Each structure stands twice: as C-alpha cells, then as structure tokens.
A = this chain, B = another copy of it.
Amino acid sequence: MFPTKEDIHGIKRRAVLQEAAASFNLKGFHGTSMNEIAASLGVTKAALYHYFPNKNALLAGCFDYAMEAAFASLERGRKQGRNGRERLILTIAGYVTELLDELNCCVVLMEEHALEPEDKAKLVQQRDKFERALRALVREGIADGSVAPCDPKLAIFVILGAMNWVPKWFKPSGPWKPEQLTRALSDIFDRAISSSPAAAMVRDVGELPLRPSSERQRSDDASRAPAIRQSIKAVRRDAEAERPARLRAVGKGRVRLR
C-alpha cells in the first residue's frame, strides 16, 4: 500500500526533527534559527509550525527520541548480555547505533536548560533514570566479576562523555562507517572497565570488515574476538528491525518537504 496522508505527515515530521537535531548538534539550540532549519528543508519557517508548535517542542522531540532509544537499548542489552559488563556494553552499542543510524547524527543531551520547565523536568528525570540504570549495570558487573572494581558514577560519566562527543567529530560521509565506529567504541569501553586482563582493541577503525563477509580475517580482528561481538551485531540487527520500515525510508538523504 502506498503511504497514506498520515504516513507522509509522519515522514516529513521526522525529517524536520532530523534536520533540527543535526543543526542543534552543530550550532547549538540558540545558534540555530527556525529560518535556517526551514531553508535546509526547502521550505519557509511558517511551514515548520505545521509539525511542531514551537522551537522548544523541536528540542523536546529530539530528547524524547533519544530517551526512547536509550531505554530500548537498555532492554536489548539486558536481554542479550550474559553478565554486567556485556549488558552495559551492549546497551551503549545499541544506543550509539540507534542515534547514528536513525537520527542521522545523534542528539547530544545538552542544552536541557533551553527547555520549558515541565519538559526539562521530564527529560532530567528520564536521563537520570537511564544513568542510574547504567551505573547499576556497572555494579552488577563488579559483583559478578566481569567488571573491574571502580567508581560506577565516574565510569558512566566517562563512557557517556565519550559517546556524547561523537557528533562533534563524526561525519557520516567520512572514512568510518557507523558500524565500525560502534564496534571500535565498544572495544575501548570494554577494555577500560573489563576485569579480564587487557583485551585487544581495534587497530584501525576504517579497516574493520563491514559484514560477516567471507573475506580474509584480519589478524587483529576475529582471531581472538570475544563472543560479545556477535551480540553487538545482534543488537544492531534488532534495533533496525524494531524501527517501522516506513521510517527507515527517511534514511540519510536530504528530504525536501515541498
């Protein structure tokens, strides 16, 4: 069946959100004007108000999407991981995947000050809940021996910081594919907190094989690949499957609204 009117509306709405998110990441909330967002979509400013009541709602929408992705990833991580460390790493990997793939270039959870008090309260509450869950995973990992003893609060701050920094330098058009980045990030996080002695890391992110292809395995890759790498792939697959197909159509290319 062809997309209904509501489908079209939803797709365009998502496109607006995507464009706004990219711009907020690049120039900040206050540094982005409604005119600019509209122009990037080939439309005038007033058109945006058909999809969102005001600028703040745009920001709130970004946060909503990010938090949805966060909790979905958390659930997948909890299911697939076999110990605290795996659950944590898989959650992070899923989250990065989702934001990178879908929202084009993730949403940084800064600029919450710009939200209306109610929206802000909601966001802060959700974000804190997510962070608490992550810290709990670290503690689980310490308890079950998969994570080296450390300060869970600091460990999560470090991981989230590295993650939230990604949109500042990652360019989808660059040499690294999201898939490679997810893997390499997971590796380094894993190494930072793992209790097992000094796992190997990815040596060259751009050289990571993109698919479970039959090409020759690189010596620094799957040779001593931990089982978690299969889980990361599974998490990525699941995340993709959970997205309605029609939303995937928005994909990477710029969407013209008119």
Interface residues on chain A, size class = 35 or more
A150 and B196 form a contact (CB under 8 A):
no
- Could you tell me the distance between the alpha carbons of A196 and B184 in the complex, rounded to whole angstroms? 20
Find the residue from A31, A149, A150, A166 having the highest chain B CB count within 10 A: A150
Q: Do the beta carbons of A165 and B169 come within 8 Å of each other?
A: no
A153 interface hit (Cβ, 8 Å): yes
CA distance A26 to B112 in the complex (A): 10
Number of copies: 2
Q: Is the CB of B201 within 8 A of A148?
A: yes
Minimum C-beta distance from A106 to chain B (A): 12
Among candidates B30, B158, B165, B202, residue contacting A151 with C-beta atoms closer than 8 Å:
B202
Task: Encode contact with B along A148-188: 1 for CB under 8 Å, 0 otherwise.
Answer: 11110111011111111110110000000000000011001
Instruction: Specify the main secondary structure of chain A where it touches its partner.
Output: helix
For residue A197, CB closer than 8 A to chain B, the reply is yes
Q: Mind listing 25 A-B residue pairs with CB under 8 Å?
A: A27-B113, A27-B114, A28-B28, A28-B29, A29-B30, A30-B30, A31-B111, A31-B114, A148-B191, A150-B188, A150-B201, A150-B202, A154-B188, A157-B165, A157-B166, A158-B162, A158-B165, A158-B185, A160-B165, A161-B166, A161-B168, A162-B165, A165-B165, A191-B192, A194-B198
